[in-house]
Amino acid sequence: MARPKLVLIWLKRDLRISDHPAFEAAIQTKLPVYAFYLFEPDLLIQPDVDLRHIRFIKESLLSMNHKLLPLRAVVHSHACNAIEFFQQINERYEIQNLFSHQETGNLESYKRDKQVSEFCKDHGIIWKEFKPSYIIRGLKSGRLGWKDKWKSWMQEACIEPNWNLAKERNLFITTPISINLNPEIKGILNKKFPFRLNQAHDFQIGGLEESENTIASFLGSRYKKYSGCISKPEESRTHCSRLSPYLAFGAISAKQVYQRTYSTRANLNYSGKKQVDRFLSRLAWRDHMIQKFESECRIEFENFNLAYDTVIHQRKENFIQAWQEGRTGYPLIDASMRCLLSTGYLNFRMRAMLVSFLTMILWQDWRWGVHFLARQFLDYEPGIHYFQFQMQASTVGNHQIRIYNPYKQILDNDPNCYFIKQWIPELRKTSIPDIQTWGIESPGLFSVKIDYPQPIVDFKTSYNHARDIMFTYQSSPEVQKNLNMIRKMHIVDRRKQSFR
């Protein structure tokens, strides 16, 4: 008996129903469509995955299906590795097409995609992958003209699925296809990710409605203090866009954000335009980082500049644990980490400071903290995460060596210690001057009265140690030789350009 024909839509980091060429391409085939998301055990057990990510994805899928219900469409969820899923579907259906968006993920997702590509070739399935943003796969010739091409791509029309056609023809299969699952897998997943969707939490909520509310409130008024608050750990929670998790999991596309922002910009005064222009530059910077990782994904595990391989670190578990728990004795470091653990969000300056502190002041290899922070960031985006981690660890060689002074950062970005006192209750009754100079005074001054540690290391001594070693490396012939190759591949046009 002939197998019925079927078109598949594989959702990954594109959890939305507008500006979605994969949905539109499937609909235009006018064949039965099965849309699905896979919770893949081989990926979920990786060290960069956390419960907060799974919750956000499930919230997003729930929101999508709420919107799709009146359109007679649905996205099905399966806990299954990709190859097993496609094998079982292929036994029962003649798969004509597989549509998805490209994913710049970790090594495991890359290996998974290679396996799926081979499977599709072996079974005559046409797999069409669409760009999620202006990221060029297989780029080997440098970045000349990249900014202009990025702007042109962002200005192209969004691709809207013809949901009326899908509804009229009942194209979407709304009953889930049964997939045989190894019972051990479900047990493993339930043990690692035990939660209920309606469980209260302090993280941003996934979904289309939340994504829309977030961009509407940002472009409505919150943008007005964007530049002035971007580095401040407390104020940034209100006046930064807060769109990063929705971009990371595709509840809204970069193109949609660009076009909404640019449309709003037309009606703003000079001051308002300056604010959103800075935001637009960050949007471009986001794709610029992802392109680096797409072109050189080895940096998930290796130093970007291989000359830094000879830097010697001694792993100190007590340092790493204190950093992870927010118990280093440096108030702003610890407040930032505790905030991140509880909410999944931290502004860029404080993220950079956490990495710099681990790698420079505690002198620990960046690889000993990179997956831990990946699990904490609700907006974890592999394409951004690994390069940024190394940039703050100064293992690229192309940037100023970054050793953030946590005392200066308090004065600059939390002078009243509001953020610190919010996240370190042990210090709520401590005076602002005492917090600002914590550990500079004689050791043990507050140890009897306050259950908060003295600094785990001496800042000045650690700073000088890291500075001397990293400056010596940065000027070395080996680093400079590798740096020339990095620049040829990754540096965009140096001429001044606007991203709007």
pLDDT for position 224: 97
| pLDDT tens string 257-307 | 999 999 999 999 999 999 999 999 999 999 999 999 998 999 999 999 999
Mean pLDDT of the 318-347 span: 98
Check whether residue 14 and residue 153 sit in a common domain.
yes
Quick one: pLDDT band at residue 146, thresholds 50, 70, 90?
confident
Check whether residue 407 and residue 450 sit in a common domain.
yes
pLDDT for position 422: 98
- Evaluate whether residue 394 is within a structural domain: yes
Check whether residue 255 and residue 165 sit in a common domain.
no
Check whether residue 242 and residue 315 sit in a common domain.
no
% pLDDT > 90, the chain: 83
Q: Where does a domain end: 245, 268, 294?
A: 294
| pLDDT tens string 83-115 | 999 999 999 999 999 999 999 999 999 999 999
Burial (0-12, 13-18, 19+ Cβ within 10 Å), 137: exposed
Quick one: pLDDT band at residue 190, thresholds 50, 70, 90?
low
Mean pLDDT of the 419-436 span: 96
Residue 78: phi, psi to the nearest 5? -135, 135
Check whether residue 258 and residue 376 sit in a common domain.
no
Beta bridge partners of 82: none
pLDDT for position 400: 80
- Evaluate whether residue 498 is within a structural domain: no
Check whether residue 158 and residue 28 sit in a common domain.
yes
Quick one: pLDDT band at residue 446, thresholds 50, 70, 90?
very low
Quick one: pLDDT band at residue 442, thresholds 50, 70, 90?
low
The CATH number assigned to the domain holding 71 equals: 3.40.50.620
| pLDDT tens string 173-184 | 999 999 987 666
- Evaluate whether residue 198 is within a structural domain: no
Of the candidates 13, 72, 480, 9, the one whose C-alpha atom is nearest the C-alpha of residue 251 is 13
- Evaluate whether residue 197 is within a structural domain: no
Check whether residue 41 and residue 111 sit in a common domain.
yes
pLDDT for position 194: 61
- Evaluate whether residue 500 is within a structural domain: no
Check whether residue 220 and residue 255 sit in a common domain.
yes
Check whether residue 215 and residue 153 sit in a common domain.
no
Mean pLDDT of the 117-125 span: 98
| pLDDT tens string 150-177 | 999 999 999 999 999 999 999 999 999 9
Check whether residue 285 and residue 307 sit in a common domain.
no
Mean pLDDT of the 313-322 span: 98
- Evaluate whether residue 499 is within a structural domain: no
pLDDT for position 447: 47
Q: Where does a domain end: 268, 294, 320?
A: 294
Mean pLDDT of the 236-256 span: 98
- Evaluate whether residue 201 is within a structural domain: no
Mean pLDDT of the chain: 92
The token pair at 189 is 């997943």
**493: pLDDT strictly greater than 70:** no
Task: Give the integer Cα–Cα distance in Å for 147 and 139.
Answer: 15
Q: Considering only residues 144 and 445, tell me which one the structure prediction assigns the higher pLDDT.
A: 144
Check whether residue 129 and residue 231 sit in a common domain.
no
Q: How many domains does the chain contain in total?
A: 3
**492: pLDDT strictly greater than 50:** yes
**444: pLDDT strictly greater than 50:** no
Dihedral sign from CA coordinates of 14, 219, 263, 290: negative
Domain that holds residue 436: 299-490
pLDDT for position 489: 72
Contacts (Cβ under 8 Å, ≥6 apart) of 310: none
**345: pLDDT strictly greater than 70:** yes
- Evaluate whether residue 203 is within a structural domain: no
Check whether residue 172 and residue 108 sit in a common domain.
yes
**454: pLDDT strictly greater than 90:** yes
| pLDDT tens string 206-229 | 999 999 999 999 999 999 999 999
Phi-psi region of 250 (alpha: psi -120 to 50; beta: other; left: phi over 0): left
**397: pLDDT strictly greater than 60:** yes
pLDDT for position 201: 79
The CATH number assigned to the domain holding 250 equals: 1.25.40.80
Q: Where does a domain end: 163, 192, 221?
A: 192
Quick one: pLDDT band at residue 39, thresholds 50, 70, 90?
very high
The CATH number assigned to the domain holding 316 equals: 1.10.579.10
